[in-house]
Amino acid sequence: MATPRKKVDGRRKVLPHGGGRTPSLTPAVQEAIFANRRLGISWERSARLAGVEVTSVKNWKARAVSALEKTPTKRNAFDNKCISFLTESKIVEDEWVRRCETVLAFALESGSGKERWNNASDADRALATSTAKFKLTHQASDEYSTKSATEVSGPNGGSIDISLSGEDVFKVLLEAKAVEEASEE
């Protein structure tokens, strides 16, 4: 059971933010999350390090997306905070991807003018390159995915009929039995 709020002059005390729970999307929390993201730390870990739940971050982003569909006059202050958070999160993601791309460019470019890169040991350059590749394939997977997809369709782009008749099933079972017997020998 929640503890009742203290009464002031016979009335409930009004909290400065309007009542209810204290909002967790504060400028300090937002900056803590983005500072960690700029270092390449995952969203989940960045949220935990900032002292908020991962679901809160996901909810803020989802609320921002839905708030963007509203007319600006229908948005409340928290909608605007979420929109600001989403906008800044996209900027931070783009910065991180750019950094990874830069590391890869230095790794692939011969005679790079960057003294730090040139003075790094082979092991450090290899580690930086593999880290950048990993981060890009996991955080910018739309552009840097190592996976490919193949779609197969039937005639005129339609579906493929895979239904089997009773006779077809019987043939498959006989073939499977024959393969099993052959492997036992």
Instruction: Break the chain into its structural domains and give their ranges.
Output: 23-141
d(CA 173, CA 176): 5
Report long-range pairs for 88-92 (Cβ below 8 Å, ≥24 apart).
88/30, 88/34, 89/34, 89/37, 89/61, 92/34, 92/37, 92/38
Q: What's the token pair of residue 95?
A: 């910065």
Instruction: Write the pLDDT tens digit of every residue in 9-22.
Output: 555 554 444 555 66
pLDDT given for residue 30 in this prediction: 93
State the pairing for strand pair 11-12/7-8: antiparallel
pLDDT given for residue 6 in this prediction: 52
Question: For every one of its 185 residues, what pLDDT tens digit does the chain have, with 9 covering 90 and above?
Answer: 455 555 555 555 544 445 556 668 899 999 999 998 888 788 888 999 999 999 999 999 999 999 999 888 888 888 899 999 999 999 998 888 887 777 777 666 655 546 666 777 788 777 777 777 777 777 666 677 767 777 777 778 777 777 767 777 778 788 888 888 887 77
Say if residues 89 and 42 touch (Cβ distance below 8 Å).
Answer: no
pLDDT given for residue 58 in this prediction: 92
pLDDT given for residue 110 in this prediction: 57
Which stretches does DSSP call E strand in the chain? 7-8, 11-12
132: exposed, middle or buried (Cβ count in 10 Å: 0-12, 13-18, 19+): buried
Q: How many CB atoms lie within 10 A of CB 32?
A: 17
pLDDT given for residue 1 in this prediction: 47
How far is the CA of 55 from the CAs of 60, 83, 89, in angstroms?
9, 16, 15
pLDDT given for residue 75 in this prediction: 86
| C-alpha Rg value of the chain to the nearest Å | 28
Q: What's the token pair of residue 53?
A: 């739940």
Closest CA to 86 of 34, 32, 141: 34
Instruction: Write the pLDDT tens digit of every residue in 85-100.
Output: 999 999 998 888 887 7
